[in-house]
């Protein structure tokens, strides 16, 4: 038995409080209160330490002493860790590893970002060809990244140890690390916002962005589920300082301002494109001539398309809705008026979209969806694709959807009629919408009415009225789906119903898959995330993906994308609502999905949209849009006005492709593709004779002596029926006809 001095000496192996294994700062709080019966905790060690003190008091035998007597001088065995303590230590190890790993990656990401974002004129060549002007630069980049990763690891490890030493939970550090984890995407910023690299490389960027957005959304989710209390408090305080009026009316004001900006932007630049003489007979002259004819009581008659039977245009399209704008058009019966109308209706289509969205998500989220809609680069292409009925119809489709949702039945009736009148194929999407509302049970009665009216209207027009008006080449777009010995839409439907696998094989082709990437990637594939929202694909699939022999309907830069856009954005709103109402982390998943949509919209709109006003990167129709307007182009436009000023306003005119839109506000207008027909005047430009059908018809008109050259100015010439042919041969020689 040892004396008092031994009893007071430290016993590091005996489990006394001085042992780190029994340190209350490291052990879980509940472990300090356990007893002999329940664990090997500190209670055993305390009893051993008290035994020597008892022996110094008296030699009398100890009553009720525990047996056997513990020999204080015997070496004690190391106390095994309890289950809770083991779990705590393992958790600390895991948390330390996570913090170190995330900090290392963040250090490397920030270092790489600094290398790519600042003073990097070499980046374009590096990304395109993996070449550097200085071979040593690659090694220097690697060295910086490795040092940053190592530095992040060391600093974060030291931080974790210091944090533990202060008795703070490592969960706080890990929370900050996950909160900052979206910064891991920083190096992709200089890469993705590099328009020269991605110009004409849509396939590479779109497929890469699918994976990038998936990772970004997951990091955003981790960020939102690990917001530190300090950051959360700062945000709550910042929001509280926003004036109540801004919180209440701010989202709608943002949408209205954005819609006005969009409209003004596209009015300005579409008019400039028109004055650059880049618009054409197909389709601006056709639509302007239809409007001018309607102003004089000649509805749906197009001498440009059917010079001998203008009323046969009904076999092509039924676009009665455009005549709703006749009171506006009458104020300025020119092609420019159509651009103004189109830009305003496309831009302010975001307003009914907002009214619908705010019923299902927060108002600020609804505003974000609308901003994504206005920055949607396929929408920009549709806005520049001459003047078309389908993009204008999107406004009325949004009103129909909002009114059905809000039970505003008068608004619904008016918007439904207007949308159906815009063009016959708009009814397909509305029919699908009605069926969806019916089968989902959300608005069954309204859905039934919409479905019946839209379906009946489409069937009546497509298979009776239009067929009775005659035939045109448009059904040839579906040629590979024609049944044996038959042509037209009826044959396509028969193939779809009787041979669905063959039909499906015509849908799954490379160019159509990329077309879908153009449409869905800016939306972070939100409409795909709920099976019942796949109904949003049906209108576009039927009207575009089934096309087998014509590229514009499956090209993102044409107006046909507007058979998709309204329904995809409405489906995105519903998908966001479903995510928000999810049982696990609903609000966080909803916001992270919206963040992915915003990121995708920013990247793609910056590289391929109109707002960047970048020469060559923005495409509308088949054209690369040029936003500049040179003095030479302005002078050329003035020359066209001068040379055509001698033509009477009521005279019949035939014109080459780019001159025609500026002369199409008249009843009898023809395109030189099909010859002068019964026109009294011809206006032509030598720059437009590459079309194989234009050159021979113009030469025939001059050689035959039917028309004589009246005036020439630069590359323009005006010819008149029955005029002197004295200058004809000179024009033929100069233009190499």
Q: Which DSSP string corresponds to 128-149?
A: HH---SSHHHHHHHHHHHHHHH
What number is the average pLDDT over the span 268-297? 96
d(CA 379, CA 670): 30
Reported as type and span, the H/E element at residue 716 is strand 716-721
Buried-exposed string 26-61: b where 16+ CB fall within 10 A, e elsewhere: ebeeebeebeeeebebbbbbeeebebbeebeeeeee
On whether residue 423 sits in a domain, the answer given is: yes
Q: What residues form DSSP beta bridges with 620?
A: 623
The pLDDT of residue 75 is 55
d(CA 245, CA 258): 19
Contact 653, 670 (CB under 8 A): yes
d(CA 392, CA 308): 30
Given 240, 264, 295, which residue is the final one in a domain? Answer: 240
d(CA 281, CA 291): 14
List Cβ<8 Å contacts ≥24 apart for 400-405. Answer: 400/430, 400/433, 400/450, 401/352, 401/356, 401/433, 401/566, 401/570, 402/352, 402/353, 402/355, 402/356, 404/433, 404/437, 404/443, 404/446, 404/447, 404/450, 405/356, 405/359, 405/443
Least confident interval from 26-40, 432-446, 517-531: 26-40
What number is the average pLDDT over the span 507-533? 95
The pLDDT of residue 76 is 53
What number is the average pLDDT over the span 250-273? 97
The pLDDT of residue 549 is 87
User: What proportion of the chain, given as a percentage, has pLDDT over 70?
Assistant: 89
Number of compact structural domains in the chain: 4
Q: pTM for this structure?
A: 0.87
d(CA 279, CA 273): 7
The pLDDT of residue 2 is 41
Given 46, 80, 114, which residue is the final one in a domain? Answer: 80
Query: 671 in helix, strand or coil?
Result: strand
Query: What Rg do the C-alpha atoms of the chain give, in angstroms?
Result: 37
Residues 21 and 116 in one domain: no
Helices and strands, number each (H, E), in the chain:
31, 7
Residues 654 and 581 in one domain: no
pLDDT surpassing 70 at residue 11: no
pLDDT surpassing 50 at residue 43: no
- Residue 92 CB neighbour total at 10 angstroms: 16
Residues 455 and 518 in one domain: yes
Residues 127 and 214 in one domain: yes
Residues 257 and 399 in one domain: yes
Residues 147 and 281 in one domain: no
Residues 2 and 36 in one domain: yes
User: What proportion of the chain, given as a percentage, has pLDDT over 90?
Assistant: 76
Token pair, residue 431, equals 């029919």
On whether residue 510 sits in a domain, the answer given is: yes
Contacts of 106 (CB under 8 A, 6+ apart): 152, 177, 180, 181, 183, 184
**C-alpha angle 690/389/340, rounded to 5°?**
85
The closest of 307, 265, 268, 267 to 286, measured between CA atoms, is 307
On whether residue 58 sits in a domain, the answer given is: yes
Residues 456 and 314 in one domain: yes
Residues 304 and 331 in one domain: yes
d(CA 77, CA 30): 24
Query: 709 in helix, strand or coil?
Result: strand
The pLDDT of residue 441 is 95
Buried-exposed string 613-634: b where 16+ CB fall within 10 A, e elsewhere: ebeebbbbbebebbeeeeeebe
Q: How confident is the model at residue 81 (pLDDT cuts 50, 70, 90)?
A: low
Average pLDDT, the chain: 88
Residues 213 and 328 in one domain: no
**C-alpha angle 357/360/363, rounded to 5°?**
60
Residues 585 and 641 in one domain: no
d(CA 381, CA 557): 4
Structural domain including 177 reads 89-240
On whether residue 236 sits in a domain, the answer given is: yes
Reported as type and span, the H/E element at residue 489 is helix 489-498
d(CA 598, CA 610): 17
Given 51, 80, 109, which residue is the final one in a domain? Answer: 80
Q: How confident is the model at residue 199 (pLDDT cuts 50, 70, 90)?
A: very high
What number is the average pLDDT over the span 483-502? 85
On whether residue 541 sits in a domain, the answer given is: yes
pLDDT surpassing 70 at residue 112: yes
Least confident interval from 13-27, 259-273, 306-320, 325-339: 13-27
Query: 28 in helix, strand or coil?
Result: coil
d(CA 110, CA 119): 15
On whether residue 629 sits in a domain, the answer given is: no
Residues 569 and 708 in one domain: no
Pairing of strands 681-685, 653-655: parallel
Q: How far is CA 433 from CA 169, 257, 648, in A?
A: 53, 29, 49
Q: What residues form DSSP beta bridges with 624?
A: 619
């Amino acid at each position: 038995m040892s004396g008092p001095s031994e009893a007071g000496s430290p016993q590091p192996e005996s489990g006394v409080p001085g042992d780190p294994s029994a340190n209350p700062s490291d052990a879980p709080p509940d472990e300090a209160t356990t007893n002999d019966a329940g664990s090997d905790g500190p209670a055993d060690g305390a009893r051993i330490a008290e035994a020597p003190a008892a022996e110094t008091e008296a030699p009398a035998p100890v009553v009720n002493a525990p047996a056997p007597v513990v020999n204080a001088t015997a070496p004690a065995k190391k106390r095994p860790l309890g289950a809770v303590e083991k779990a705590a230590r393992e958790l600390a190890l895991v948390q330390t590893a996570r913090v170190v790993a995330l900090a290392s990656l963040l250090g490397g990401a920030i270092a790489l970002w600094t290398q790519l974002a600042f003073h990097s004129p070499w980046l374009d060549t590096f990304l395109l060809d993996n070449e550097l002007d200085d071979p040593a630069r690659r090694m220097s980049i690697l060295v910086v990244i490795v040092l940053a990763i190592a530095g992040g690891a060391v600093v974060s490890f030291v931080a974790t140890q210091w944090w533990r030493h202060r008795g703070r939970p490592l969960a706080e550090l890990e929370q900050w690390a996950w909160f900052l984890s979206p910064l891991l995407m920083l190096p992709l910023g200089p890469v993705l916002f590099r328009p020269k690299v991605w110009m004409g490389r849509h396939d590479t960027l779109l497929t890469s962005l699918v994976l990038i957005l998936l990772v970004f959304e997951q990091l955003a989710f981790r960020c939102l589920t690990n917001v530190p209390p300090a950051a959360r408090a700062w945000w709550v305080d910042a929001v509280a300082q926003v004036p109540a009026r801004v919180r209440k009316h701010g989202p709608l004001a943002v949408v209205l301002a954005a819609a006005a900006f969009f409209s003004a932007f596209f009015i300005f630049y579409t008019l400039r494109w028109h004055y650059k003489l880049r618009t054409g007979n197909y389709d601006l002259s056709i639509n302007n001539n239809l409007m001018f004819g309607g102003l004089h009581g000649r509805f749906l008659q197009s001498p440009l398309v059917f010079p001998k039977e203008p009323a046969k245009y009904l076999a092509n399209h039924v676009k009665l809705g455009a005549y709703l704008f006749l009171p506006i058009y009458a104020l300025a019966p020119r092609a420019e008026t159509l651009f103004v109308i189109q830009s305003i209706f496309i831009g302010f289509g975001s307003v009914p979209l907002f009214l619908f969205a705010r019923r299902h998500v927060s108002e600020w989220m609804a505003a974000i969806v609308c901003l994504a809609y206005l920055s949607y680069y396929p929408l920009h292409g549709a806005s520049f694709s001459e003047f078309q009925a389908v993009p204008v119809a999107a406004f009325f489709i949004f009103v129909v959807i909002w009114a059905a949702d809000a039970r505003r039945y008068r608004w619904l009736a008016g918007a439904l009629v207007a949308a159906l009148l815009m063009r016959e194929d708009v009814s397909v999407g509305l029919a699908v919408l009605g069926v969806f509302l019916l089968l989902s049970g959300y608005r069954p009665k309204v859905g039934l009415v919409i479905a019946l009216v839209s379906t009946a209207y489409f069937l009546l027009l497509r298979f009776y009225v239009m067929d009775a008006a005659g035939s045109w080449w448009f059904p040839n777009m579906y040629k590979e789906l024609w049944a044996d010995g038959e042509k037209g839409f009826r044959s396509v439907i028969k193939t779809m119903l009787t041979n669905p696998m063959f039909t499906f094989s015509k849908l799954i082709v490379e160019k159509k898959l990329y077309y879908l990437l153009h449409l869905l990637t800016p939306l972070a594939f939100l409409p795909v995330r709920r099976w019942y929202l796949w109904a949003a694909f049906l209108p576009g699939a039927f009207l575009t993906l089934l096309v087998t022999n014509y590229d514009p309907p499956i090209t993102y830069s044409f107006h046909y994308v507007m058979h998709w856009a309204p329904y995809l954005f409405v489906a995105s709103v519903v998908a966001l609502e479903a995510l928000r109402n999810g049982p696990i982390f609903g609000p966080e998943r909803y916001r992270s999905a919206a963040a992915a949509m915003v990121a995708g919209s920013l990247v793609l709109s910056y590289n391929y949209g109109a707002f960047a006003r970048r020469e060559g990167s923005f495409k509308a129709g088949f054209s690369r849009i040029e936003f500049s307007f040179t003095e030479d182009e302005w002078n050329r436009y003035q020359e066209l006005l001068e040379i055509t000023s001698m033509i009477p306003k009521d005279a019949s005119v035939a014109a080459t492709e780019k001159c025609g839109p500026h002369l199409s506000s008249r009843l009898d207008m023809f395109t030189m593709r099909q010859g002068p027909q019964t026109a009294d005047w011809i206006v032509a430009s030598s720059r437009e004779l590459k079309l194989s059908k234009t050159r021979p018809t113009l030469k025939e008109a001059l050689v035959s002596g039917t028309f004589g050259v009246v005036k020439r100015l630069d590359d323009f010439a005006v010819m008149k029926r029955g005029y002197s042919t004295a200058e004809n041969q000179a024009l033929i020689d100069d233009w190499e006809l």
